[in-house]
Amino acid sequence: MESALLVKEYRAGVLECAHYGHICITDEHGQVVYSVGDPQFRAFTRSSAKPFQAIPGIRAGIDQHYSLEAQEIAIMASSHRSEPEHIRVLEHLADKIGLGEDCLICAPSYPLNEESRNNWLRAQGEKRRILHNCSGKHLGILGYSQMKNLDLDSYAQPDHPVQREILTTLAGLADIEEKEIQLGVDGCGFPVFSLPLSALSNAYLKLACPDLIADEATRIAVQTITSAMNQHPLMVGGTHRVDSVLLEDDNIVAKGGFKGVFGFALKKERLGITFKVLDGSEEEWASIVQSILKQLNYSNSKTIERLAEVFPADIRNDAGTLVGRMDSEFVLHS
């Protein structure tokens, strides 16, 4: 099935950009109830997998073992922007685990948040591994590996026991066989998973509705992780990030990933929702999410209003002058 037009961008009333992709919405029975484009399109999860990658460690009790607080659990599922509060929590997490950032295989980086990066550079700060937006995930898995007395040097390799456990966990929540998930290498060096959007939607619904998870330990771990994400939404993304804004709503679990993939789920409505913008852009996420929520007649209008406030449809130039507009163009099909 071909991709569908999701968003158009106009400048001076003239079409400048068109963004195509796929959307899938599944229910608690694993059925596709709404879609745009191909709901079976295979996408790499990228960072949208982080809540699932945190499950094995929490399930095994690393939160009790290291006396972790909710903020530290949330940042394990994050794509943080290295804002000051992120750095504070990451350093506390590293101290509790007792591992230096030299153990991380992710590349030394500068903060992704513009203000934080500028302040860091003014202070002549150097690149650090802990500033990488995946460092929370890495610290969590290193902590779990250390607790189980597993090799730390190979913690990111696909055949490492923790990585195998992550794959098994994701497949189970997605209701597919492990062999149906194709592995690649993510930007941070971890295995990354390619699977149908419908399967990823099923997995996201389990995050929002853990009562659908048969295994008690996994169910409790999911509740712990998603509770931390909703309690500390800024830890998961950062200032003016779509997933952090959505997580302000206790009815939503959300996490974005690089190259245009996004997953979220609605607890009361019991719907898992994923989409992929084929050109890899993230600028359209808020517009797509708003349109989905409106078309689903989502009851919490404040969340839709909040998205519109933080991510207006107006396009402005570098000086703040209004120059165009972004509009969603798709209709959900049942």
Helix (H, G, I), strand (E, B) or coil at 9: strand
pLDDT value for 155: 98
| Count: domains in the chain | 1
Confidence of residue 262 (pLDDT cuts 50, 70, 90): very high
CATH number of residue 201's parent domain: 3.40.710
Average pLDDT, the chain: 98
Is 254 domain-assigned? yes
Angle at 262 between CA 259 and CA 263, to 5 degrees: 150
Is 258 domain-assigned? yes
Q: By CB neighbour count within 10 A (0-12 exposed, 13-18 middle, 19+ buried), where does 140 fall?
A: buried
pLDDT value for 309: 98
Q: What percentage of the chain exceeds 70 in pLDDT?
A: 100
Is 70 domain-assigned? no
Checking if the pLDDT of 209 tops 90, the result is yes
pLDDT in tens, 214-258: 999 999 999 999 999 999 999 999 999 999 999 999 999 999 999
Checking if the pLDDT of 1 tops 90, the result is no
Distances (CA, A) of 249 to 81, 208, 243: 21, 12, 10
Confidence of residue 198 (pLDDT cuts 50, 70, 90): very high
pLDDT in tens, 12-63: 999 999 999 999 999 999 999 999 999 999 999 999 999 999 999 999 999 9
Is 114 domain-assigned? no
Is 21 domain-assigned? yes
Can you tell me the distance from the alpha carbon of 113 to that of 83, in angstroms, rounded to the nearest whole number? Answer: 6
Other CB atoms closer than 10 Å to residue 153's CB: what's the count? 10
Is 30 domain-assigned? yes
pLDDT in tens, 118-177: 999 999 999 999 999 999 999 999 999 999 999 999 999 999 999 999 999 999 999 999
pLDDT in tens, 74-131: 999 999 999 999 999 999 999 999 999 999 999 999 999 999 999 999 999 999 999 9
DSSP state of 265: E
Can you tell me the distance from the alpha carbon of 282 to that of 105, in angstroms, rounded to the nearest whole number? Answer: 26
| b (16+ CB within 10 A) / e for 281-294 | ebebbbbbbbbbbe
pLDDT value for 80: 98
pLDDT value for 28: 97
Is 265 domain-assigned? yes
Is 84 domain-assigned? no
Give me the domain span that covers residue 24. Answer: 4-61+158-328
Q: Which residue in the block uniquely carries the two structure tokens 């798709």?
A: 330
